[in-house]
Amino acid sequence: MHKTAEIIKVGIADMNMVKVPDLIRTTGLGSCVGVVLYDQAREMAGMAHVMLPDSSLSRAEPLNKAKFANTAIKELLNALIKAGARPSGIKAKIAGGAQMFQFSGSSDMMRIGPRNVEAVLHELKELRIPVIAQDVGGNSGRTIEFDPKTGFMQIRTVNKGNSEI
């Protein structure tokens, strides 16, 4: 009997995991970065919707690890390994980090998109996770959906339609 494929949703500053045949999706990424870690041989994937580059920015207790690039990716990696993924088989695809608004403002927050991307790439490098594909920057929002069966990430934008990485 076939199990009906479900789409597991990941909210903002949130993370989750899926196994085949389910898909995993997050909607409306702006300056946030969607990070997918996947082990295709084991047909599983995890996704985090990262909002800020570094947990040192947090003044909140307890810390929401899914919110920050430097904590979310480690947490996701550990969760995947615990669920049976092979550390050597884990790869990454990322999307997001747009600059939604153009301001002349001086605040660091104004260029949070590029900073999030830098932080995510830095963390992936530290953890020696290869980045197979990325669709980052620009000034459009993105909705992404990952299929752990095929290893493809569908990306939908308002103005440029759909693409796949």
Partner 1 sequence: MTFLKSISDVHLDILKEVGNIGAGHAATALSTLLNKKIDMKVPSVRVVSFDEVMDLAGGADNVVASVFLRIEGDAPGSMFFILPLPQAEKYIGQLTKNYSFSFSEEPDNELALSALQELGNILSGSYLSSLSDFTKLSLYPSVPALSIDMVGAVISFGLLELSQVSDYAIVIDTALDEEDAQLPDSVNGHFFLLPDPDSFHIIFSALGVRVDA
Comparing C-alpha atoms, which of 111, 114, 119, 30 is closest to residue 70? 119
Does 104 bind partner 1 (CB under 8 A)? Our answer is: yes
89 is catalytic: no
Stretch that binds partner 1, among 37-45, 77-85, 94-102, 144-152 (CB under 8 A): 94-102
CA distance 68 to 120: 9
Judged by beta carbon, residue 27 or residue 40, the one nearer partner 1 is: 27
Does 35 bind partner 1 (CB under 8 A)? Our answer is: no
Tokens of 42: 């084991």
Does 29 bind partner 1 (CB under 8 A)? Our answer is: yes
CA distance 1 to 4: 9
The tally of CA atoms less than 13 A away on the side-chain side of residue 147 is 9
Interaction site with partner 1 (CB under 8 A): 11-14, 27-32, 51-52, 57-61, 64, 67, 98, 100-105, 107, 109, 112, 140-143, 158-159
Residues with a known catalytic role: 32
